[in-house]
Structure 1
């Protein structure tokens, strides 16, 4: 087997070494197949190839059945390029991004935006209405006043919090669909797509894969947002969908359930990682846009929906809404499935509630290590 050339970090992030890495994997497979007669009898599709790129402050990882498409490597890089392009457009951490410019100018005059961003804003407003304001893309200033924007938690002064709340709410957005402009009714308003952006990126990248002829994959962004298409090939028999693990919200080395994901997206929200303590009380980063206070009473929420973007947004909203309102929502929307983990009196034990799942979800009676 020919020796492959090394690649640097920049090439990897831009996708060049993703191709090299995948080719190396295929070369290793072919070489071992020549040496081992039993291995040679296995179809290449029993192997999973992985392509990873850093974006949106997490690792986006794409899992593919090896050998099922001639264009899988090029398609994978193209899909990750799409993720990177969306990050460049939606990030609030770069002053030159379209969303940063919108936040800077939209309170002064109606600001024209690209068609895909306008559509995302419309979709986000609809999700806000659907969840009674528990999901809201205007809640960014709340994250700043609580110190979560830079991951330095702090208790805000009551007056500061109240003034911030006056600038939060999707009802304060004015959209002109003909001109595709956005106007903020109050100065200091901001849009932040952190609660839907990773899911959107997965959905958009998945369309790229399908256009390139890749119809079987599992794609995730930081493991909290996932999208599955087709099935995981295993030898000459294919299992429906892809099986993923749902983790314990407190004990990060354990998992609580297996979920067979069939052409669906999932989003998980929880405050097990981003939080701070003040005078013995824990304050999580998931804030209620209506009150400005950190949401309480839920450990984690996993939502399964038709798209990863919808699953992302709803998982955030459901964390805020709590058990009874989740139950009511799911009764009205049987197409949305929810795995809810709630605290009990035990230090690391949880109570599990599920809504609208059938055979695709398996709760593990004894949590086992990842």
Structure 2
């Protein structure tokens, strides 16, 4: 069930102002009384709809929401590869030629991505820009590249070809044609930064922030429930169904699936989540959902787990007890697999 949350203000155009009610990924329970209701605000950014839910009666709710969305807008301008003026586009142009100084937050984000690449043995890699373009997942048209083209793109992929110098806070690419694309981590990072702004600058104790269906950050607890925020996990093949619910308190959730971005090839649906080791779309999973301390990490690991599959995810969670996951394999009549989550924090529904 979806909260019929009260909007912050009247609906406006989708270019980026505060919008009215939505029906995206939100808590499931119906409020039992008016004082348990939520205020909701939304704005379009990063090619999706971001929302913030605040407890009813939060002082200066509109100001808080606008501050969070302004921060997300700022980060989109920094991280996008679709604007030549962004800091990331500038980095991709200049880093093959020289060490390039970058903003501290971006440097730390690249460092986090490098750690995830190393810990997943290359299943996650933000340097797959050339590969994404070869498959037409950048600006289209989507297509299956020839083997020679795919091999050429693969030669330009690899976080080992990126030098991060913490002393000078510079980035250098050692491989010509290498391009970083932060689409697999940018939304989560934006949620983290927006949540940090609300927590530090406004002393906000509780809020739920999300970007589309795939990225969530839960601050504190939802009204009337000391356990945290109850979040529904959408079924990848049926938006009206839920795989289950998880409860988050000062935690994040990220989901990867190939439901909405794919191409047809020889009777097969090939998704946009490319294995950077083979250059081919990952095909063993239908969906991977991750619970992690930050939304950036949850997003990155959701992509990695989608590629690693069940066994690789179990091994990772065994090494990292702070990480949990709900996986749905791609085979027919698959049953969700839970890794690293306490029974009281997750409930899986009958998906048969």
Matched position secondary structure for 1:253: strand
Match of 1:9 among 13, 19, 27: 13
- Aligned residue in 2 for 1:229: 219
Structure 1 residues 256-271: aligned runs within 5 Å: 256-271=243-258
Tell me by how many angstroms 1:6 deviates: 6.7
For residues 313-324 of structure 1, the aligned pairs below 5 Å read 313-324=300-311
Shift of 1:120: 1.2
Distance in 2 between the 1:356 and 1:178 partners? Answer: 36
In the TM superposition, what are the counterparts of 1:1-370 in structure 2 within 5 Å?
Answer: 8-9=12-13, 13-14=16-17, 17=18, 45-67=35-57, 69-211=58-200, 212-234=202-224, 238-345=225-332, 349-358=333-342, 359-365=344-350
- The CA distance in 2 between the partners of 1:185 and 1:126, in whole Å, is 18
In structure 2, relative to structure 1, the CA distance for the partners of 1:6 and 1:288 (3 Å cut) is: closer
The match for 1:27 is none
Aligned-partner Cα distance in 2 for 1:286–1:278? 15
- Relative to 1, partners in 2 of residues 1:6 and 1:356: Cα closer, same or farther, differing over 3 Å? closer
Q: Which TM-score applies when normalising by structure 2?
A: 0.90
Q: Note if contact 1:241-1:260 (Cα within 8 Å) is conserved in structure 2.
A: yes
8 Å contact kept, 1:151–1:274 = no
Q: Is the 8 A contact 2:125 2:276 kept in 1?
A: yes
* Contact kept? 1:72, 1:214, Cα under 8 Å: no
- After superposition, the Cα gap between the structure-2 partners of 1:287 and 1:5, relative to the gap in structure 1 and judged at 3 Å, is closer
TM-score, length of structure 1 as denominator length: 0.85
Structural RMSD (CA): 2.1
Alignment: residue pair count: 333
Match of 1:34 in 2: none
Q: 1:143 to 1:5 in 2, by over 3 A?
A: closer
Tell me the alpha carbon deviations over residues 28-61 of structure 1, each in whole angstroms, 9 at most, x when there is no partner.
xxxxxxxxxxxxx95x641211110000000000
Partner of 2:28: none
* 1:350 Cα offset (Å): 2.8
After superposition, what is the alpha-carbon deviation per residue over 1:55-95, rounded to whole angstroms, capped at 9, x for unaligned? 0000000011011x323321111011111100000000000
Q: Is the 8 A contact 1:230 1:240 kept in 2?
A: no
Unaligned runs of 5+ in 1: 23-40
In structure 2, list runs of 5 or more residues that go unmatched.
1-7, 22-31
Q: After TM superposition, where is structure 1 displaced by more than 6 Å over at least 4 residues in a row?
A: 4-7
Preserved contact between residue 245 and residue 347 of structure 2 (Cα < 8 Å): yes
Contact 1:248 1:254 in 2 (8 A): yes
Task: Measure, in 2, the Cα distance between the counterparts of 1:163 and 1:91.
Answer: 24
In the aligned structure 1, how far is the partner of 2:161 from the partner of 2:327?
Answer: 32
Larger Cα-atom Rg:
1
- 1:252 deviates by 2.3
